[in-house]
Structure 1
Amino acid sequence: MRMRVLLLGGESRLGQALLTQAAAESIRIDAPEPPEGGWLVDTLDDCLDTFQPDLVIDLVFYHEQFQLSLHNEQQLATQRAFGEGVIAACSARGITRFMISSTRVFDGLKKATYTERDKPAPGEAVGELQALLEKQIRDAGDQYLILRFSWLLDNSPDGQLGRLLDQLQHQDPVQLAEEWRGNPTPVVDAARVILAVLKQLDCEAPVHGVYHYGSTEPTTWISFAQSVTQELLASHCLDKDPVIQPVPFNTQPMAGLEPQNASVVSRKILMTYGIKSRSWRTQLPELLKSFESS
């Protein structure tokens, strides 16, 4: 790849998946280790001067923004300062900014799937931060790419899927929100999409803008949990089929933290990049297996 890509936060689950797939294709992505004391705005200039990238992907706060649903004001302020610092530093150097965002920029009140034509209208603090950074990127110039995902699933014990597995294995009945909708998207699939986009950008294709991706097909969290249960029973990781009890969305911990409807359609990224959505069902066994080695 001729384009020099700098990945901040390569130690994250999504970052590791991206680096693994890039290495398998002999594609170089620079992913420096976090500085002592962690990534700070003050460390950006030296990093950019050292690697002189053409494009930057920031996954430093991937876990906090995509897995933990935190509303800690101090942590959000830290994330905002770093995100704004990356945007300003890249803009000053003419570096393309590739932002990984999510459907949290929407309030989740729409009944149908979200498309790129829908205007951001966040309903909680993390979504507000993501929408703010998206706007700053767009305002900084035309050389940007924003890729929004629905539910990103990895093998972190305290992540979305890890918490569900803990419920299924230790609670009876398991109370899950009804009509919480989204696209379960394993990080290996998300990494595949990011890498495919990078390849096209390396060919100098004028395809900047905002895109959505979610593994097919959109489903409810309860239906997803039932599929997970069947896989766990088949692999003898569960002794019995747990009772799943539907409860109103607004009674669950994610209410007010994530949109009730997080489902997306991936048509634009297909038509522009030729990237086809993969089924999350076919990827589920491998995703669950990854917990054994985590």
Structure 2
Amino acid sequence: MRMRILLLEGDSSLGQALVRLATQEGIDIRSVDRPRAGWKSDQLLDWFDQYQADAVVNLAYFHEQFQLGMDDPLQLTALDEFNRNLVALCAKDNRLLVQPSSARVFDGLKATPYTEKDERLPGDGLGLVQGELEKLLATHCSRYAVLRFSWLLDASADGQLAKLLEQLRGQDPVLLAEEWRGNPTPVDDAARVLLAVLKQLDCEAPLHGVYHYGSTEPSSWISFAKSLAQELMANNRLDRDPVIRSIPFDKQTETGWEPQNAVLTSRRILMAFGVKPRPWRAQLGQLLDSIDTPQ
């Protein structure tokens, strides 16, 4: 690869998966872990000089955005300020910037899957910040790629998947909404997509813009939970069949604020980059192996 790639927050689950895949293909990605004092934009110039970066993959605040959901105003302000400065620096030097985003830029009220042509209508503070940063990129950067993901699943102890596993192993019925829909996407699959995009942009393909990706097929969170329970029981990781019941979306407390419909189409990224969506069901075993599940 000709581009010198700088990865911000390489110690995130997605960052680690991306570096692992790149190493297998002999691709060198220089990464910066999250600083103890947090992300400060005045460090960016030093990192750019040190690594002579032609491209930046920005996973700063990845865990907060894609596993926890940020609702603290101070955190959102820090996220916004850091990313605005990063965009300005990349635009100044015509540096490629690859930025993850999410289905939170939509209000989730659409009945069908979201495409890249749908209007941004964020329903919470995090979605609003992500949407504004997408606009900023499109306005100021000639070389950029925004990758919107639906539900990203990783092995983090306090992430979405871990919380669901805790519910399935508990004694109480698991109450989930049929209306809560999205694309369950393991971070290893998201890393595969990121690397494929980087390789083609390295060839100077004129493919800048916004793209969606989600593993197939779309699912409700309750259907995903049932499939997860079956996988756990088949591998002797769950000693009983959990009780899973449907409730209305607005009665569900586990979502924090997430769009009711987070289903994204992946047609544009398939047509532009040749990236074929992988089925999440075929990846469940590998995903569970990455988690320290009690036997």
TM-score range, shorter chain: over 0.9
Question: Conserved in 2, the CA contact under 8 Å of 1:69 and 1:254?
Answer: no
The 1:256/1:32 distance shift into structure 2, 3 A limit, reads closer
The unaligned stretches of length 5 or more in structure 1 are none
Aligned 1:152-191 pairs, distance under 5 A:
152-191=152-191
Aligned 1:53-72 pairs, distance under 5 A:
53-72=53-72
Matching residue of 1:278: 278
Question: Conserved in 1, the CA contact under 8 Å of 2:94 and 2:142?
Answer: no
Question: Conserved in 1, the CA contact under 8 Å of 2:7 and 2:59?
Answer: yes
Decide which moves more: 156-165 or 44-53. Answer: 44-53
SS where residue 175 of structure 2 aligns? strand
Matching residue of 1:108: 108
What does the per-residue CA deviation read over 1:27-57, in whole Å, with 9 as the maximum and x for residues that have no partner? 0111023445232111111111211211111
What does the per-residue CA deviation read over 1:78-101, in whole Å, with 9 as the maximum and x for residues that have no partner? 111111111111112211111111
Question: What's the CA shift for 1:255?
Answer: 5.3
Aligned 1:129-144 pairs, distance under 5 A:
129-144=129-144
The answer to whether structure 1 residue 48 and structure 2 residue 55 are counterparts is no
Question: Conserved in 2, the CA contact under 8 Å of 1:124 and 1:256?
Answer: no
Aligned 1:32-43 pairs, distance under 5 A:
32-43=32-43
Question: Conserved in 2, the CA contact under 8 Å of 1:150 and 1:262?
Answer: yes
Q: Distance in 2 between matches of 1:30 and 1:156?
A: 23
Question: What's the CA shift for 1:141?
Answer: 2.9
Q: Distance in 2 between matches of 1:98 and 1:291?
A: 28
Aligned 1:67-86 pairs, distance under 5 A:
67-86=67-86
Q: Distance in 1 between matches of 2:35 and 2:162?
A: 28
Aligned 1:1-294 pairs, distance under 5 A:
1-254=1-254, 257-292=257-292
The 1:131/1:163 distance shift into structure 2, 3 A limit, reads same
Q: Distance in 2 between matches of 1:77 and 1:246?
A: 36
Q: Distance in 2 between matches of 1:275 and 1:85?
A: 31
SS where residue 147 of structure 2 aligns? strand
The 1:254/1:130 distance shift into structure 2, 3 A limit, reads farther
In the alignment, residue 289 of structure 2 is paired with which amino acid? K
Give TM-score, length-normalised by structure 2.
0.96
Question: Conserved in 1, the CA contact under 8 Å of 2:91 and 2:142?
Answer: no
Question: What's the CA shift for 1:293?
Answer: 8.3
Question: Conserved in 2, the CA contact under 8 Å of 1:116 and 1:210?
Answer: yes
Question: Conserved in 1, the CA contact under 8 Å of 2:67 and 2:160?
Answer: yes
What does the per-residue CA deviation read over 1:182-235, in whole Å, with 9 as the maximum and x for residues that have no partner? 000000000000000111011111111111010000010000000000011111
SS where residue 26 of structure 1 aligns? coil
The unaligned stretches of length 5 or more in structure 2 are none
What does the per-residue CA deviation read over 1:55-84, in whole Å, with 9 as the maximum and x for residues that have no partner? 111111000000002311111111111111
What does the per-residue CA deviation read over 1:234-280, in whole Å, with 9 as the maximum and x for residues that have no partner? 11111110101111111123556110000011111111111100000
Q: Distance in 2 between matches of 1:24 and 1:138?
A: 32
Alignment RMSD: 1.4
Q: Distance in 2 between matches of 1:33 and 1:245?
A: 41
Question: What's the CA shift for 1:176?
Answer: 1.0
